[in-house]
């Protein structure tokens, strides 16, 4: 059997790295989930947090489809959509400036400012946050889940005191589900154990992205993320957007914050209503060809 050659671009936003296939230049694969599992493997594949397809769209400059490293498809990725918009502009499919990208969350408006041949700074209108528990989804009563008891944490754990951990949860969807926990020291949270347990708890019927957040001051936070289907990642754009929303709802931060993530910094804005705005970098790493048997 002859192998199929798939040209790809490896890109990242603050270290949140994906393999991108340009559907304008070549046909996309027939089984993206299976390809995502193979190509994302950091030992036997290209390596990355997942696979993103960039395809033509009838309603925007391009359509983005995102698959996590485990093959599951997600609705949106904030760092990923910045990279998609960079690819679209750098390959000449759309001019720099305002660009629209179709996602599982809907059509998003971005502004792309090239900062080099292989990099851009991008501002994204992330859309309005979803706070209705049924739509997030989270199995919890009421109209919002803001600093509410978390049934997935029935008992105090040994590390809570050292981390200054608050076991109450705040839940937000940015087109994909997020749960935010506040703490005094994010480094003291055993995220590799805590994250997957919360992600797969029955409280969250579609699983969930898990964030622990340390407030440095009203305009700055430090956060770590366990991403649904990918594990611990260097950055999460939709997660940082959810943290911005949670900070305003909980009265812990202002409406404009800088979020420090392991991979770098994002700027977030939310006025208490309307859309969240996120600004951050998109960078190419290398190009190659994947041979798919």
- Positions marked catalytic: 77, 236
Closest CA to 196 of 223, 232, 162, 171: 232
Give the strand pairing for 62-68 and 97-103. Answer: parallel
What residues contact residue 27 under an 8 Å CB cut-off, 6+ apart?
A: none
Please give the C-alpha separations between residue 48 and each of 134, 152, 216, 235, in angstroms, as whole numbers.
Answer: 31, 29, 30, 12
Say if residues 80 and 63 touch (Cβ distance below 8 Å): no
DSSP annotation string for 278-292: EEEEEEEEEEEEEEE
Please give the C-alpha separations between residue 104 and each of 8, 107, 132, 205, 292, in angstroms, as whole numbers.
Answer: 22, 8, 18, 18, 26
Three-class DSSP category at 107: strand
In this structure, the number of other CB atoms found within 10 A of the CB of residue 118 comes to 16
- Give the pair of three-digit tokens for residue 291: 């041979």
Angle among Cα 42, 46, 50 to the nearest 5 degrees reads 75
- Give the pair of three-digit tokens for residue 80: 């990923």
Closest CA to 242 of 192, 181, 188, 164: 181
């Amino acid at each position: 059997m002859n192998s199929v050659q798939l040209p790809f671009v490896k890109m990242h936003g603050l270290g949140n790295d994906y393999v991108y296939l340009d559907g304008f230049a070549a046909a996309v694969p027939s089984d993206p989930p299976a390809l995502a599992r193979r190509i994302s493997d950091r030992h036997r594949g290209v390596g990355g947090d997942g696979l993103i397809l960039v395809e033509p769209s009838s309603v925007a400059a391009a359509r983005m489809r995102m698959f996590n490293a485990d093959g599951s498809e997600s609705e949106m990725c904030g760092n990923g959509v910045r990279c998609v918009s960079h690819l679209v502009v750098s390959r000449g499919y759309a001019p720099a400036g305002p660009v629209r990208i179709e996602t599982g969350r809907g059509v998003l408006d971005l502004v792309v400012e090239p900062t080099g041949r292989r990099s851009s700074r991008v501002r994204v209108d992330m859309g309005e946050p979803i706070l209705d528990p049924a739509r997030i989804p989270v199995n919890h009563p009421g109209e919002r889940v803001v600093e509410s008891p978390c049934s997935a944490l029935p008992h105090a754990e040994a590390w809570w005191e050292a981390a200054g951990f608050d076991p109450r949860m705040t839940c937000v969807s940015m087109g994909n589900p997020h749960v935010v926990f506040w703490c005094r020291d994010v480094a003291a949270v055993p995220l590799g154990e805590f994250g997957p347990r919360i992600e797969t708890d029955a409280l969250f019927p579609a699983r969930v992205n898990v964030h622990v957040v340390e407030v440095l001051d009203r305009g700055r936070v430090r956060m770590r993320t366990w991403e649904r289907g990918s594990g611990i990642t260097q950055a999460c754009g939709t997660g940082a957007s959810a943290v911005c929303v949670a900070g305003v709802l909980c009265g812990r931060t202002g409406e404009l914050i800088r979020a420090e993530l392991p991979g770098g910094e994002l700027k977030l804005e939310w006025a208490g209503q309307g859309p969240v705005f996120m600004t951050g970098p998109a960078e190419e790493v290398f190009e190659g060809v994947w041979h798919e048997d």
